[in-house]
Amino acid sequence: TLLEQSARDLPSSFSNSAPRTPTTKAGSYYKMYEWTLVTYLYLPSFLYAIGAPLSLVQMMSHLQAGVRLAMADRGISASELDDMHDHFVQFVRLWEQEFVRGKASLLHRATISIHQLLHVRMFIYCHGNMRNTSQGRCEREVGHIKYALRSFKSPFPSIARNVRELEHIRLLDLLLQDAEDEDDPPDVPTLATKISSKHRRMTQSQVDEEDALIRTFQEQGLIPTPLPPYFYRGKLEIPGTSTVRGSRIESDGARRCCHFFARHDDGISYGKALHFICFGADHDLDDEAPVNDQAAFILFRRL
């Protein structure tokens, strides 16, 4: 199925684990995040794969884009809020065109749950991210409150006291910042996992392409001439954001982490990383320790 074939390619930024196939696991043990991924991530691709009408694919794509913006972890800007509202408006219009078609006898299909999407922008504008008031978030908060209660005879004064104490601690952290925290060095990307004989070997075409790229970089002055010693690393760790693994160190059964996108002056590039090349005589070529090298290059193929 589509889910089984694409499970390895699902980026970890979307979910820690891929959803299971709902045809066999859609019982009471099928988790909410799996339904969310299937509905808002895989459904447009599935509709396109089975040859569904383009208007239906477009309708679900608008819903997918709007929900993704509304549920973003980082929050959204004012312009993104307008984009989200436009996606929901287009979804409602296409829904009415497909399922109501201007007939009074089909008006019951224009349910209130569909038109509630038109009010999401005002809700986020007034109350913040949708995640803050979702059912799952409320249930988790109730669980935390119940766990923190020491007595159930007078729960509300206890809750108020706990909230007040937490806010006092948070304010003290803001007012009494530790000087040592301000002097911490900035986080820099780290190259790890030395590529050895146990990892996947390069094909002859990949070797030839790498040699051609190195010669091109030498002509452009990006790499010194004569060529300095160099070595390979298989993983790029970016503190606080993500990790990119080269395809040479990935096993056949693991989630792929070699696909990435990068912003540059010409826009955005999508690629599949092979490995990372580090140049310079300052490093021990046999050392397996992580490397903080700003002069490293990534060998990848555009997607």
Confidence of residue 185 (pLDDT cuts 50, 70, 90): low
Q: How many CB atoms lie within 10 A of CB 89?
A: 15
> Are residue 294 and residue 211 in the same domain, yes or no?
yes
Please give the pLDDT value at position 88.
95
Helix (H, G, I), strand (E, B) or coil at 278: strand
Burial 1-37 (b: 16+ CB within 10 A, else e): eebeeebeebeeeeeeebbbebeeeeeeebeeebeeb
> Are residue 197 and residue 170 in the same domain, yes or no?
no
Whether the pLDDT of residue 223 is over 60: the answer is yes
> Are residue 100 and residue 26 in the same domain, yes or no?
yes
Extract the tokens encoding 298.
Answer: 């990534």
pLDDT in tens, 18-27: 788 887 777 7
Q: Range with the lowest mean pLDDT among 114-118, 148-152, 271-275?
A: 148-152
Mean pLDDT along residues 152-181: 80
The Cα diameter of the chain in Å comes to 79
Helix (H, G, I), strand (E, B) or coil at 187: coil
Burial 269-287 (b: 16+ CB within 10 A, else e): eebebbbbbbbeeeeeeee
Domain span at residue 167 reads: 135-181
> Are residue 255 and residue 200 in the same domain, yes or no?
yes
Q: How many CB atoms lie within 10 A of CB 124?
A: 20
Beta carbons of 293 and 191 less than 8 angstroms apart: yes
Mean pLDDT along residues 201-220: 92
> Are residue 171 and residue 217 in the same domain, yes or no?
no
Q: Range with the lowest mean pLDDT among 6-15, 54-63, 251-260, 264-273?
A: 6-15
> Are residue 6 and residue 122 in the same domain, yes or no?
yes
> Are residue 205 and residue 236 in the same domain, yes or no?
yes
Q: Point out the domain boundary residue: 163, 181, 199.
A: 181
Extract the tokens encoding 253.
Answer: 């059964």
Beta carbons of 92 and 114 less than 8 angstroms apart: yes
> Are residue 118 and residue 27 in the same domain, yes or no?
yes
> Are residue 204 and residue 153 in the same domain, yes or no?
no
pLDDT in tens, 122-135: 999 988 888 777 77
Q: How far is CA 111 from CA 86, 154, 206, in A?
A: 19, 42, 56
Cα separation, 96 vs 98, in Å, equals 5
Whether the pLDDT of residue 288 is over 80: the answer is no
Concatenate the DSSP letters of all residues of 219-267 into one string.
HTTSS-SSPPPEEEEEEEEETTTEEEE-GGG--TTSPP--EEEEEETTE
What rounded mean pLDDT belongs to the chain?
A: 83
> Are residue 56 and residue 141 in the same domain, yes or no?
no
Bridge partners (DSSP) listed for residue 262: 269
Beta carbons of 293 and 284 less than 8 angstroms apart: no
> Are residue 220 and residue 209 in the same domain, yes or no?
yes
Number of domains observed in the structure of the chain: 3
pTM (2 decimals)?
Answer: 0.58
> Are residue 92 and residue 56 in the same domain, yes or no?
yes
